[in-house]
Structure 1
């Protein structure tokens, strides 16, 4: 537990001492990650298993068949 606290403190101190342009860069990176994983997922990566199969058992069987056949 002590090691985790030291690692956390290390990163916290590092982020506190960032220059203003570096903080701006991190904000841009975080916004970009949010767009990539949240927004794009909604529009381009539909839940096809949920749309094609009604029960969890049918979904599981489909996944097993795909894993075995490939």
Structure 2
């Protein structure tokens, strides 16, 4: 089992060492993920639950919203 894990690890290490275009593509992917998960989240997806529920009342706020919306 240990030999299998070591050979798989070595396969990927050798593959990443010999990449030329792949490194550029992985860099582009990393930059896009950073933009999507950190930059866009900060500006376009505010934490609505903290604003609406206040401090410490998140459970009560969620349960009351679920009950109100189920009664419609």
TM-score, normalising length from structure 1?
0.68
Q: Residue 32 in 1 paired to residue 66 in 2?
A: no
Structure with more relative contact order (C-alpha pairs < 8 Å, separation 6 or more):
1
RMSD value, Cα: 2.6
Report the alpha carbon displacement of residue 67 of structure 1 after superposing the two structures with TM: 5.2
Rate the CA distance shift 1:51–1:24 in 2: closer, same or farther, 3 A.
same
- Which residue number corresponds to residue 59 of structure 1? 58
Query: Which of 1 and 2 has greater Rg?
Result: 2
1:1-70 matched pairs, under 5 angstroms: 2=2, 7-18=8-19, 20-56=20-56, 58-66=57-65, 69=70
**How many residue pairs are counted as aligned between the two chains?**
67
* Structure 2 segments unaligned to the other structure (5+ residues): none
TM-score, normalising length from structure 2?
0.67
